[in-house]
Chain A
Amino acid sequence: MWLDISLIVIILSGIVLLGSSRIGTIIQLFAFQSLVLSSIPLQVDRAGLNWHVLTIAFGTLIVKVFVMPNFLFWAIRHVRLRREAPTILGYGKTMLLGGILVGMAFYISSKLTLPDRYFSRLFIPAAFSIFAIGLLLLVSRVKAITQVIGYLVMENGIFLFSMLLLDKTPFLIEMGILLDIFVAVLVMSIVINNITEDYEDTNTLNLTTLRD
């Protein structure tokens, strides 16, 4: 029951994410989603708590709930950015599209037969949905920082999917993934700062104009 509710709360926060325009709110929503996500390893583990599961949960908690949001907040303070520019589609349409994508994710996963065990019937649909929502966020927003968050939400979906193979994944790979995203966020923040210095704005549409 709690696993199902956590999964639905993760999808729910993704849909709210699609409709919000303040960058501070978006970062907080991402942190909230990651908080719920970091409790998933503890909930799916049937063999009792071992250090492998605990490290994954706490590693996710520290990196995705505390370090990365703080880092992103630092970045928006640095470039004095508060609001997203108007999106390509508009918020209402983006949210409706998100709903359709979630529906498709549920449909696809109902057709999909995965060989491994299921913890919950919502597990794979939720992973697909978060992945699709992250992708939608990535392509529909124009500010670089929101695109970074879209990428991170997408990664949350992959993380959820990898939970199915929790006891088969070596610990080193999990940590490698976390390090990978951390570096990606670091690089993106620096890129955002450089875009701002060159163009006085973080709108990625500016990158298509030619300048000396």
Chain B
Amino acid sequence: MLPIFSHILFVLALSPLLLGVIGKTKAFFAGRWGPPLLQPWYDIAKLFRKGVVYSTTTSWVFKLTPVVVMATALASCIFVPWGSIAPPVYFWGDALLFIYLYGLMRFFLIIGALDTGSSFEGMGASREAAFSCLSEIVLFMDFILLVMVSKSLVLCNMLNTGFFSSWLSMGPVLVLVAVSFFLVMLVENSRIPIDDPNTHLELTMIHEVMVLDHSGYDLGLILWGSYIKLFVLGSVLVSLFVPAHLSPLTGVTFFLCGMGVLGITIGVVESVMARLRLNRVPHLLIGAFVLATLGFIVILLKGA
């Protein structure tokens, strides 16, 4: 039990920091000093001190949603390695469970939004459902590519073992996986250029519109859950670049530096790009899908 708890504590503590790094990078680009690095932490602490207001039209589904979001986010993080620290739980096929945990999270966010009976939130739910159909295909394609490269269905083996050697032979495939996974990660976490996490007023938003009716610690749980989702999906991407067989300390340092670079990259992308028009988002996902398919062709050519 102890490794599981330490793994969960690690992600609970560090996931808001990633958002802090993104915020600082964006502030740097805008020429501002920006909120402190720990601002996402302060936000969560503030929300947890507040009470909750429930609309009279909502049912138990609405109250269950934040709990499920947090639970699935935490459950998904125990399958992911941090640098050279192996995950506490792994079994044959846990990569599929990993993907479907996020499916469960999304399902509850969507029915939670529909439960409020607000047409505005229903619109957000329909968008989330439409885009996740496309992004899930790309996510599966990427995981299939990783399975073919590593010949294992265990997530931590797919990400970690011997990747320094597989970059030599499978470099092109891994570049394609990294690029298309980065795009999927932006879509899954509703970042720019798909959705602007800062706006609360526009009709084009996706994720934020679904959680408009949540308040207090419910909102805190959902926010924290989405921070963890970004952190965990980001760590999947970063793990591709962490060489295997490092000592624990070097591995974790390498991993944390990688997460920092990832945060800065997302911040740069958000600063230099505008949000895409809603009808252009599928094009981005089609592009990611084509890249993943190309990786497939390259693997067939190389005869993995």
Interface, chain A (partner B; CB < 8 A): 1-2, 4-5, 7-9, 11-12, 15-16, 19, 91-92, 95-96, 98-99, 102-103, 106, 110, 121-122, 125
Contacts and interface: CB of A to CB of B under 8 A. Distances in A.
Interface string B256-299: 00000000000000000000000010111011011101100110
Given A1-B171, A8-B176, A122 B298 contact: yes
Interface residues of B, number: 23
A102 B297 contact: yes
- 8 residue pairs, one from A and one from B, having the closest CB atoms: A99-B290, A8-B172, A4-B172, A5-B171, A92-B283, A106-B297, A1-B171, A92-B286
B108 to A, nearest CB: 30
Contacts of A8: 171-172, 175-176, 294, 298
B168 interface: yes
Nearest to A105: B297
5 contacts: A15-B291, A19-B286, A19-B287, A91-B283, A103-B297
A12 B291 contact: yes
B86 interface: no
A102 B302 contact: no
B179 interface: yes
Contact of A4 (B171, B179, B284, B290): B171
A180 B285 CA distance: 38
Nearest to A125: B301
B180 to A, nearest CB: 10
Interface of B: 167-169, 171-172, 175-176, 179, 280, 282-284, 286-287, 289-291, 293-294, 297-298, 301-302
Contact of B301 (A12, A15, A16, A121): A121
A22 to B, nearest CB: 11
Contacts of A5: 171-172, 175
Nearest to A6: B172
Given A8-B298, A110-B301, A125-B301, A95 B172 contact: no
Nearest to A110: B301
Contacts of B280: 91
Contacts of B284: 19
A122 B298 CA distance: 8
B290 to A, nearest CB: 4
Contacts of A9: 175
Given A5-B172, A106-B298, 19 more contacts: A1-B167, A1-B169, A5-B171, A8-B176, A12-B175, A15-B291, A19-B283, A19-B286, A19-B287, A92-B282, A95-B290, A96-B286, A96-B290, A98-B290, A99-B289, A99-B290, A99-B293, A102-B294, A122-B298
Contacts of A125: 301
B224 to A, nearest CB: 34
A96 to B, nearest CB: 6
Contacts of A11: 294
Contacts of A122: 172, 298, 301
B187 to A, nearest CB: 15
B283 A15 contact: no
B282 to A, nearest CB: 6
A56 B243 CA distance: 36
Contact of A15 (B167, B171, B175, B290): B290
A90 to B, nearest CB: 9
Contacts of A99: 289-290, 293-294
A92 B285 CA distance: 9
Contacts of B167: 1
Contacts of B282: 92
Given A8-B298, A103-B297, A121-B302, A16 B287 contact: yes
Nearest to B292: A99
A110 B301 CA distance: 8
A5 B167 CA distance: 10
A102 B289 CA distance: 13
Contacts of B297: 102-103, 106
B294 to A, nearest CB: 6
